[in-house]
Amino acid sequence: MDIASLLKGLAGLMWIGVIALLVIVVLRASRGQKVRGLSISILVVTILAVLLTVVSAGLVFIRPEDRGVVLSALSPKGYREAPLQPGLRWIVPYFEQVVRYPISRQTYTMSIATSEGQIQGDDSITARTSDGQEIFLDASVIYAIDPAKVIDVHIAWQNRYQDELVRPLARGVMRDVVSQFRVEEVVSTKRLEMTQQISDGIKQNLAENGLTMVGFILRNITFSPEYAASVEQKQIAEQQALQAGLVVEQRRQEAEQARQVANGQADAVVIRAEGAAKARVIEAQAEAQALDLIAQALKDKPELLNYQYITKLSPSIQAMLLPNNAPFLLPLPTLQPGTNLSTVEPTPLPTPLPTPLPTP
């Protein structure tokens, strides 16, 4: 509680005391008792009550978040040219009075929601875009009274600045700015630009009327049911087209992958064929070199051929016929020990049948 309010309270108690003393004096006088001492008390208390009332009427305490406009009957303009600053201030009692204005930040909200904003119900801003589409905007304006222009606000608007200045000015600027954009731009590519233009317009107009805009918030944008349905259908079509494009891309990638696999397989076949060909060439070269070495060995030592022939015979052979001009190599490794080919009787050849003569 500030001192001005305290003095007003004391002045009120004094006047109550004066009334109580007057009642006592009347009662004592009606009974024929002396009232001289009480009369002096009434006079003293009355003087004190008057003094406290006058002083309390002249003292004004201005809070830090307020500024005071002094309406003065002693000034030719009817008001003091400078507002009262925070603290305990003095004015001429009964000839001047103070109107307080808040300089703290205030918010005015216009919303489609019935429970938000200063006005109950749908208070959104209806605006029409340059292509004729109707949209609904929810917005909040954060502002404050310029402390240096409190007197101008009082003269021009008094306490009506919120309902008769901030509200209609913000709604008008928003409608004007929205009319410069297409509906697609409002919700996508140029929303920030539109919001900035609205903020600049409101800020300039409020400054001309003694208010400072702290911030502008575009809370929401709502479309008409018809346009919302068309936007939804467009988005569905775009999603379907995007899905089809993804399928085509997937098929293309699969075809490319198959082509790469085929190329890899073909390259592998070529590499294997080249490797096999090189292997055959190397093998043929090795065989040719081996044959050359064998031929050279046989040329120098012909008996190696017979040796190789004998080593290749089957282990089960016990006897063999040789040409009459072939040399004998005895005994054979597979023959029984002590066996001599000269004692082995040759197997007689079958007698050939006579060949019949042809019939004449």
Given a cut of 90, is residue 35 above it in pLDDT? no
pLDDT for position 69: 95
Tokens of 5: 């309010």
In order of 3, 59, 314, the CA distances from 307 in angstroms are 143, 146, 14
pLDDT for position 176: 95
Confidence of residue 277 (pLDDT cuts 50, 70, 90): confident
Mean pLDDT confidence for 121-136: 88
Summarize pLDDT for 297-317 with one digit per residue, the tens.
777 777 766 766 676 665 666
Portion of the chain with pLDDT greater than 70, in percent: 81
Contact 101, 151 (CB under 8 A): no
Mean pLDDT confidence for 278-287: 84
Given a cut of 50, is residue 330 above it in pLDDT? no
Confidence of residue 263 (pLDDT cuts 50, 70, 90): confident
pTM: 0.58
Given a cut of 70, is residue 321 above it in pLDDT? no
Contact 177, 205 (CB under 8 A): no
Summarize pLDDT for 194-243 with one digit per residue, the tens.
999 999 999 999 999 999 999 999 998 888 777 767 666 766 677 778 77
Q: Which residue has the higher pLDDT, 358 or 1?
A: 1
The CA distance from 116 to 139, in Å, is 11
Mean pLDDT confidence for 328-333: 48
pLDDT for position 309: 67
Instruction: Count CB-CB contacts under 10 A for residue 22.
Output: 15
**To 5 degrees, how large is the angle CA 99–CA 153–CA 171?**
125
Q: Determine which of 52-56, 62-66, 86-90, 114-118 has the lowest per-residue pLDDT on average.
A: 114-118
Summarize pLDDT for 145-160 with one digit per residue, the tens.
999 999 999 999 999 9
pLDDT for position 144: 96
Given a cut of 90, is residue 68 above it in pLDDT? yes
Given a cut of 90, is residue 115 above it in pLDDT? no
Q: Which letter does DSSP use for residue 190 in this model?
A: T
How does DSSP assign 51-99, residue by residue? HHHHHHHHEEEE-TTEEEEEEESSSTTSB-SSPBPSEEEE--TTTEEEE
